[in-house]
Amino acid sequence: MIPYGRQDISDEDIAAVEAVLRSDFLTQGPAVPRFEAAIKAATGAEHALAVNSATSALHIACMALDLGPGDWLWTVPNTFVASANCGIYCGAEVDFVDIDPETYVMCPKALEAKLVAAKGAGRLPKVIVPVHFAGQSADMAAIGALARAYGVRVIEDASHAIGARYQGAPVGNCAHSDICVFSFHPVKIVTTAEGGVATTNDAHLAQRMELHRSHGVTRDPSLLQEDSPGGWYYEQVALGYNYRMTEMQAALGASQMTRLDAFVARRNVLAARYDRLLADLPLTRPVQNPDSYSAYHLYPIQVEDRARVFAYLRENGIGVNVHYIPVHTQPFYCARGFARGDFPAAEAYYDRAISIPLYAGLTEADQDRVFEVLRAALQASKVGAISRWISPRIVRAAPASFFASS
């Protein structure tokens, strides 16, 4: 089976983790700051906070921005559920902004229209979470300008986009946002097994996120309410969580970050090759915004008769997946008043979407296999569609050439 995504672990990565296991620190040692420094160097952000998952990073980002009951968080339907759930964790209400039908990221025009209506209704969001999908940045200049005009805070969900660039600058530099969040799950560009990072240029937000990731406990003299009587002393000054990243995870991440540019370059080469291979097939290939250099976490295509094509690919050794079932159609969110039909662009994309294999270790031979099976799947789907409207008797009598030329 050729998977849709896969980690790339080198001997150097293994040695980095082994070194931690032989060291004095398995948690709260030097590896986490080293990994955070690598993220700051790659993104240009002033602060980076490593945590145990991107979901945790989203949560502490919302907490740092004081999102709470009575507030609203808006994100897109075309994302993993964590982009919305982080608002629910804080007691806020969640709503969605539809996507651009070509790039599959938050549509600035849809956002502007929704902000105008929300201001008139006295229900502006406190936080907007645009999602950089499949490695491509949302139009952050337009989104950031709208957010400033309406007094809204912005968290970039860049779980798919470490190593990507927008308008020539690294995603994660927070030029148009308050906080940016990355994921390091094994299918992402860089992995820490499980893990996440939040970047920001705001020292106050960084300090708050640092507190929230570790129980709200601090030894920082500037935050203590009492003078410290000794080196053992700490205070809990906020309600936080145990969202810390381990030393093993951080060591793996720091090692992987040395290959970030190579990983992203390889993914771009493979994506360009897919563009050429698939050019004549009856499908829709992903469109790239000229302002964006994608990290190509995914290569999503759109096809007719998706269920049949998906099944054929899986049955023939191509481990495709679908990203994403629109969040507002999940039972949890339907129970909160959402329904299919609310966000037609995201739904139309989902109905035809398949993510085909793309990862740094994918070979050209693997890619050729994906292409051949996909071409056969589309042909099989076409034949299947014909057979649904031709009577069984005519199908049995039809010559083989009928299907070959159809």
For residues 169 and 393, give the distance between their C-alpha atoms in angstroms, rounded to a whole number.
62
Does the annotation mark 40 as catalytic? no
- Residue 12 shares a structural domain with residue 79: yes
- Indicate whether 274 and 151 sit together in one domain: no
By the 8 A CB rule, do 131 and 78 touch?
yes
Q: List per-residue pLDDT tens for the chain, 406 residues long.
A: 999 999 999 999 999 999 999 999 999 999 999 999 999 999 999 999 999 999 999 999 999 999 999 999 999 999 999 999 999 999 999 999 999 999 999 999 999 999 999 999 999 999 999 999 999 999 999 999 999 999 999 999 999 999 999 999 999 999 999 999 999 999 999 999 999 999 999 999 999 999 999 999 999 999 999 999 999 999 999 999 999 999 999 999 999 999 999 999 999 999 999 999 999 999 999 999 999 999 999 999 999 999 999 999 999 999 999 999 999 999 999 999 999 999 999 999 999 999 999 999 999 999 999 999 999 999 998 876 544 444 343 333 333 332 333 2
Domain boundary among 224, 241, 259: 259
Do 223 and 292 lie in one domain? The reply is no
Query: Has residue 401 been placed in a domain?
Result: no
115 and 145 inside one domain: yes
Domain that holds residue 201: 2-259
Q: Is the dihedral of CA 310, 315, 321, 327 positive or negative?
A: positive
Residue 399 included in any domain: no
Q: How many Å apart are CA 334 and CA 332, to the nearest integer?
A: 6
Angle between helical axes of 108-121 and 140-150 (0-180°, round to 10): 10
Beta bridge partners of 353: 302
Q: Which candidate in 109, 114, 126, 188 is catalytic?
A: 188
* CA 356-3-366 angle, 5° bins: 75
**Phi/psi of residue 2, each to 5°?**
-90, 115
Residues 34 and 153 in one domain: yes
> Are 271 and 214 members of one domain?
no
- Say yes or no: 308 and 332 in one domain: yes
* CATH number of 220's domain: 3.40.640.10
Distance, CA of 45 to CA of 170 (rounded, Å): 9
Distance of CA 217 to the CA centre of its chain: 30
Considering its fold, how many domains does the chain have in total? 2
Q: Round to the nearest angstrom and report the end-to-end CA distance of the chain.
A: 30
Residue found by looking up tokens 């008769």 in the block: 305
Give the distance between the most distant pair of CA atoms in the chain: 93
Instruction: Assess whether 167 and 271 both reside in one domain.
Output: no
129 with 48, same domain: the answer is: yes
CATH number of the domain bearing residue 342: 3.90.1150.10
Q: How far apart are CA 205 and CA 199, in angstroms?
A: 10
Question: pTM of this prediction?
Answer: 0.93
Q: Say yes or no: 215 and 141 in one domain.
A: yes
